[in-house]
């Protein structure tokens, strides 16, 4: 075809209009022509900036800087190159679907990857397609905001769109850090109070921020449905009108825009929480009452989230459509993290870790979810660290179609898992419809609890997840529970001689198959449960409760299987009914002699035969230095962490958090390798390695 002579711009527009790959009935397709700013028409092959209804493809090798605030809804943003949001101004992107993928062929699939990325171990990180809304160490600056709004767009699949999906690329969301995302209140805040007092300065909080004050009075009526439970909730939302220095009470007042409607209790270790939901990086559904969006990372993806806000997301009752979803990543995302995020008003969970290992979730505030909040989906997930997260107001959901664990009724747990080989530390669950913490796994016709589980050497082996012990379950708390603070339902009682089992062959067989090994108990350390019906239900054997503090509840230990278990340091205060209600043991805790006959004989018989697992969560250049931070998960104390041959510094409790500073010439890439050794001499066989590229890439 011959074109007449036209001015260059007119010719470009004519060429864009004549595109044999675009049918007349298809939405316009705009591709990047070169690297540049989103707002520059020269960046695009159409000779104009993208507009409402366009499908946009950023080509591999092109870097586009997103530098606008726009309410025009882009139908599709497909990133095969790099799209990076400006950090020195406000930005806003409205879209139906954002996909990070190595393919430049447009696809409107908001769940599956039409062109999955292969592992990129031998390629530079800069070769990955990337969506960068801030970077580790370089977040969206204070005073500026980045907003992504997800819209339903006519003609797109409502079951999978709107969405943000990372298919083997890199996806980062990083807002301005704050010192604490949530705090305990210092003293009781009575109904009518216009301020709450906390123990420390709320650094990073500011006037206008959206906060919650958690309930300390549980609901007592029947199980009901989501609307009924929500109507009775006493967790309250407010805005901050001011923050003050420490006053004569010894606390720091956080002033609220409206008086509190309910009293929020604080005494000793039993205190309500105040949490900040506001972040300057936001992903949200444009119409919370309409079709909601979701976000997900697929296998071989990279990237992390810090101090970002995810609100009004999650598709109610839809499997796999969660606010934040790590989907079947295995160990390919080892060290990725969600830190300091707020996730609220979710219609389908806050964070789902599905078939994914060695992630870190820390300092996250989850508020108002339908169905479980922090959810480990299939029973194959191991070595994940969930630390210092707040789960507040979890509403009951219902089982999802073809869900992977058929026995999960989705009644509303702050934390739910089917494999205990993970770390749960310093978390708090508040006002959940059914459970604060729920471990549940069964052998059914549709679910085999013998799963392929990753081993320390990287291989997988068949293991019965009903008896895998915690890496660590320590210093967790649940309060204001209508039913259970902690409910372990992984293993039946091992005594096959009981009449109950003699009448049920399948249960008898399961009981004989699933007995925890001596020395490998479910070790619960320093758990607090208060203002609840039943503080603990141990529906399994081989449990060591090493520190249980129960306050203002009906029952401390309810209908539990106590043979084969051990107990010490248990206290109760202000109980309403019984300390123990336990017909399985004639209403009493077994004597020491009886416990000694069980599978677990106390602390001296505990065996730690697993090495630590180290994760590098960030490696950030500072001139000719690289600051490396990470965490370690281990059942015992950690002796040391070694980073590139040098000892790291523990910054919290036995290397639960650590830091190392390495020299690195600014013009060269650096391989960072970190591994740990515990106090028993177990050395990590596979240290974690990341590559830090030089700044020019």
In terms of domains, do 245 and 270 share one? yes
Q: Quick one: 187 and 126 in the same domain? A: no
**The predicted structure's pLDDT at residue 508:** 52
Confidence of residue 3 (pLDDT cuts 50, 70, 90): very low
Return the pLDDT at 13.
40
Q: Which residues contact 651 (CB under 8 A, 6 or more apart)?
A: 657, 658, 659
Residue-wise burial string across 292-311, b where 16 or more C-beta atoms lie within 10 A, e elsewhere = bbbbbbbbbbbbbbbbbbbb
What does the DSSP assignment read for 136-179?
A: TTBPSPTT--EEEEE---TTS-TTT-SEEEESSSEEEEE----S
Above pLDDT 90, what percent of the chain? 77
Residue 44 parent element (H or E) = none
Range of the domain at 642: 613-692
Q: Which residue has the tokens 């029947």?
A: 222
- Does the pLDDT value for residue 286 go beyond 60? yes
Mean per-residue pLDDT for 225-238?
A: 84
Query: Which residue carries 């471990």 as its tokens?
Result: 439
- Looking up residue 232, the CATH number of its domain turns out to be 2.40.30
Helices (H) and strands (E) in the chain, counts: 5, 53
- What Cα–Cα distance (Å) separates residue 267 from each residue in 102, 113, 185? 55, 51, 9
What's the domain count of the chain? Answer: 3
Tell whether 666 and 684 lie within a shared domain: yes
pLDDT bin (cut points 50, 70, 90) of residue 665 is confident
Q: Which residue has tokens 């290397």?
A: 655
Which of 210, 182, 212 has its CA nearest to residue 282?
210
Q: Is the pLDDT of residue 527 over 90?
A: yes
Mean pLDDT of 557-582: 80
pLDDT of residue 497: 39
Indicate whether 265 pLDDT > 50: yes
Rounded average pLDDT over 296-322: 97
Cβ-Cβ contacts under 8 Å for 304 (sequence gap 6 or more): 136, 172, 174, 336, 337, 338, 339, 617, 618
Determine, yes or no, domain membership for 575: no
Does residue 149 sit in the same domain as residue 197?
no
Residues 35 and 154 in one domain: yes
Contact between residue 56 and residue 81 where contact means Cβ atoms under 8 Å apart: no
pLDDT at 502 over 60: no
Beta carbons within 8 Å of 324's beta carbon, 6+ residues apart: 295, 296, 305, 310, 338, 341, 343, 350, 351, 352
- CATH number of the domain where residue 621 is located: 2.60.40.10
Omega of the bond prior to 162 within 30 degrees of 0, cis?
A: yes
Q: Are residues 106 and 144 in the same domain?
A: yes
- Does pLDDT of 193 surpass 90? yes
> Does 269 fall in a domain?
yes
Between these two residues, 696 and 301, which has the higher pLDDT value?
Answer: 301
pLDDT score recorded for residue 509: 55
Lowest mean pLDDT among 38-47, 140-149, 155-164, 483-492: 483-492
Here the tokens at position 75 are 């139908």
Residues 235 and 196 in one domain: yes
HSE-CB for 26 with a 13 A CA cutoff: 16
Of 174, 199, 218, the residue that ends a domain is: 174
- Hey, which residues does 28 pair with through a beta bridge? none
In a domain, 484, yes or no: no
- Tell me, yes or no, whether 14 and 148 share the same domain: yes
Q: Is the pLDDT at 599 greater than 80, yes or no?
A: no
Q: How is residue 139 written in tokens?
A: 């977040």
507 is a domain residue = no
My answer on whether 125 and 41 are in the same domain is yes
Residue 21 class from Cβ within 10 Å (0-12 exposed, 13-18 middle, 19+ buried)?
exposed
> How confident is the model at residue 22, as a pLDDT?
52
pLDDT mean over 177-192: 97
**pLDDT of the residue at 373:** 98
Q: Name the pTM for this structure.
A: 0.92
pLDDT for position 519: 85
Mean pLDDT of 638-643: 98
Helix (H, G, I), strand (E, B) or coil at 13: helix
| Residues 102, 168 within the same domain | yes
Digit-coded pLDDT (tens) for 56-86: 999 999 999 999 999 999 999 999 999 999 9
Going by pLDDT thresholds of 50, 70 and 90, the confidence category of residue 6 is very low
> Which residues does residue 36 pair with via DSSP β-bridges, in sequence order?
64
First to last CA, the chain: 41
Quickly count: other Cβ atoms within 10 Å of residue 266's Cβ. 19
Clarify whether residues 232 and 272 are in a common domain. yes
Average pLDDT over residues 450-468: 95
Last residue of a domain, one of 229, 259, 276: 276
Do the beta carbons of residue 373 and residue 391 sit within 8 Å?
yes
Bigger pLDDT: 1 vs 561? 561
Q: Quick check: 344 and 235 in contact, CB under 8 A?
A: no
DSSP secondary structure string for all residues of 88-108: SS-EEEEEEEEEE-S--S---
Q: How would residue 506 be classed by pLDDT, with cut points 50, 70 and 90?
A: low
- Cα separation, 391 vs 375, in Å, equals 11
Q: Collapsing DSSP states into helix, strand and coil, what is residue 124?
A: coil
Whether residue 500 lies inside any domain: the answer is: no
Q: What is the structure's pLDDT at 542?
A: 84
Distance between CA 515 and CA 659 in Å, rounded?
40
Q: What is the per-residue pLDDT across 32-58, written as a single tens digit (0 to 9) for each?
A: 999 999 999 999 999 999 999 999 999
Average pLDDT, the chain: 89
| 311 within some domain | no
Report whether pLDDT(224) > 80: no
Whether 490 maps to a domain, the answer reads no
- 642/671 same-domain check: yes
Question: What's the whole-number mean pLDDT along residues 458-466?
Answer: 95
Q: Is residue 29 part of a domain?
A: yes
Q: Give the domain-ending residue among 150, 174, 198.
A: 174
Other CB atoms within 10 A of residue 5 CB: 6
Which one, of 158, 49, 166, lies nearest residue 103 by Cα? 166
pLDDT at res. 564: 75
Q: Which two tokens stand for residue 84?
A: 């990076």
Lowest mean pLDDT among 38-52, 168-182, 242-256, 638-652: 242-256
Spell out a b/e string for 106-127, using b for 16 or more CB atoms within 10 Å of the CB, else e.
bbbbbbebeeebeebeeeeeee
């Amino acid at each position: 075809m011959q074109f007449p002579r036209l001015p260059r711009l007119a010719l470009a527009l004519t060429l864009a209009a004549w595109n044999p790959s675009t049918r007349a009935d298809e939405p316009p397709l705009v591709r990047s022509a070169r690297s540049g700013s989103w707002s520059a028409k020269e960046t695009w092959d159409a000779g104009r900036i993208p507009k409402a209804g366009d499908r946009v493809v950023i080509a591999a090798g092109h870097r586009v800087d997103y530098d606008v605030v726009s309410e025009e809804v882009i139908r599709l943003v497909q990133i095969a190159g790099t799209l990076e949001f400006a950090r020195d101004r406000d930005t806003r992107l409205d879209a139906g679907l954002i996909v990070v993928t190595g393919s430049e062929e447009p696809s409107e699939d908001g769940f599956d990857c039409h062109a999955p990325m292969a592992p990129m171990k031998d390629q530079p990180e800069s070769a990955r397609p990337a969506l960068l809304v801030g970077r580790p160490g370089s977040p969206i600056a204070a005073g500026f905001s980045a907003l992504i709004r997800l819209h339903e767009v006519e003609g797109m699949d409502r079951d999978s769109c709107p969405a943000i999906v990372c298919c083997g690329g890199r996806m980062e969301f990083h807002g301005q850090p704050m010192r604490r995302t949530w705090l305990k209140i210092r003293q009781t805040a009575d109904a009518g109070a216009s301020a709450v007092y906390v123990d420390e300065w709320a650094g990073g909080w500011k006037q206008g921020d959206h906060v919650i004050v958690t309930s300390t009075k549980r609901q007592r009526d029947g199980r009901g449905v989501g609307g009924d439970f929500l109507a009775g909730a006493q967790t309250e939302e407010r805005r901050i009108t001011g923050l003050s220095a420490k006053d004569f009470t010894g606390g720091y007042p956080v002033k609220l825009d409206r008086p509190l409607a309910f009293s929020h209790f604080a005494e000793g270790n039993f205190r309500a929480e105040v949490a900040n939901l506001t972040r300057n990086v936001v992903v949200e559904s444009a119409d919370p009452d309409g079709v909601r969006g979701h976000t997900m990372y697929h296998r071989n993806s990279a990237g992390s989230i810090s101090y970002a806000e995810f609100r009004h997301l999650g598709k109610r009752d839809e499997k796999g459509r969660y606010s934040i979803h790590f989907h079947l990543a295995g160990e390919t995302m080892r060290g990725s993290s969600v830190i300091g995020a707020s996730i609220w008003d979710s219609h389908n969970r806050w964070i789902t870790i599905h078939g994914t290992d060695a992630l870190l979730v820390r300092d996250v505030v989850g508020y108002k979810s339908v169905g479980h909040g922090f959810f480990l989906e299939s029973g194959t997930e191991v070595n994940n660290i969930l630390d210092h997260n707040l789960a507040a107001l979890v509403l009951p959901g219902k089982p999802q179609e073809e869900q992977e664990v058929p026995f999960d009724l989705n009644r509303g747990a702050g934390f739910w898992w089917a494999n205990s080989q993970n770390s749960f530390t310093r978390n708090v669950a508040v006002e959940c419809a059914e459970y604060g913490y729920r471990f549940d796994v069964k052998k059914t016709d549709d679910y085999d609890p013998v799963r392929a589980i990753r081993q320390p050497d990287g291989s997988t082996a068949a293991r019965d997840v009903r008896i895998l012990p915690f890496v660590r379950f320590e210093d967790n708390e649940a309060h204001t529970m209508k039913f259970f603070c902690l409910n372990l339902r992984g293993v039946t009682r091992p005594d096959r001689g009981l009449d109950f089992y003699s009448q049920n062959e399948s249960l008898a067989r399961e009981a004989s198959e699933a007995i925890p090994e001596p020395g490998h108990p479910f070790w619960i350390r320093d758990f607090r449960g208060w203002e609840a019906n039943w503080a603990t239900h141990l529906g399994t054997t081989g449990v060591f409760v090493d520190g249980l503090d129960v306050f203002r509840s009906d029952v401390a230990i309810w209908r539990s299987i106590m043979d084969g278990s051990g107990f010490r340091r248990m206290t109760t205060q202000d109980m309403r009914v019984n300390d123990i209600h336990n017909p399985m043991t004639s209403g009493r805790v077994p004597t020491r002699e009886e416990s000694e006959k069980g599978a677990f004989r106390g602390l001296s018989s505990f065996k730690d035969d697993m090495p630590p697992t180290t994760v590098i969560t960030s490696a950030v250049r500072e001139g000719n230095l690289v600051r490396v931070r990470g965490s370690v998960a281990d059942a015992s104390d950690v002796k040391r962490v070694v980073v590139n041959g040098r000892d790291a510094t523990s910054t919290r409790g036995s290397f639960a958090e650590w830091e190392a500073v390495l020299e690195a010439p600014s013009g060269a890439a650096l391989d960072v390798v970190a591994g740990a050794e515990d106090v028993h001499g177990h050395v990590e066989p596979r240290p974690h390695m990341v590559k830090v590229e030089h700044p020019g890439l």
